[in-house]
Amino acid sequence: MATQVESRPRSGLALAGWLVLCFAVAAVSSIISARSIPTWYAGLIKPPLNPPNHVFGPVWTVLYALMAVSAWIVWKTRPSPCRRRGLLLFCVQLGLNFLWTWIFFDRHQILTAFADILVLWVAIFLTIFTFRKMSVAAAWMLVPYLAWVTFASYLNLAIWRLN
């Protein structure tokens, strides 16, 4: 395992930065999806396990917080190619996460969104695998996110098949 090297004040700023990054993605995604939820999304046929709309906000809030803390923990480890690769993978999966929302809720391209979420799932898995080399805790913090994206993949595929 890598050792922690950053000073406390800089570390606090880094945590704030990771939180801002993750919640900026959350905020823009929320704005995009909010426009379609009462209109286009409301008219779609949903699968039996589709949760009520009010569940998604709290779940994503917890997941984005865990994601930010996970990235911060890895950021605090000694600089290395593995850390650089892990944080790059983290940013890629965060971009794919945002892209899914835009494709699904703004473009209404359900099948393309499903393709994106499959790539997102792989990116999260690779991020977990890479983070584990530096911090087991950071890796485990992303497991609920992977589980939720697995469930969201089922929902996405089912919505495509039903509509």
Spell out the domain ranges in the chain. 8-162
The whole-model pTM stands at 0.92
pLDDT, residue 105, reads 98
The pLDDT-based confidence of 10 (bands split at 50, 70, 90) is confident
Place 9 in a pLDDT band, splitting at 50, 70 and 90.
low
- Cβ proximity of 160 and 132 under 8 Å: no
- 53 pLDDT band, cuts 50/70/90, is very high
Q: Which CATH architecture has domain 8-162?
A: Up-down Bundle (1.20)
Q: What is the mean pLDDT of the chain?
A: 95
Span 4-10, average pLDDT: 59
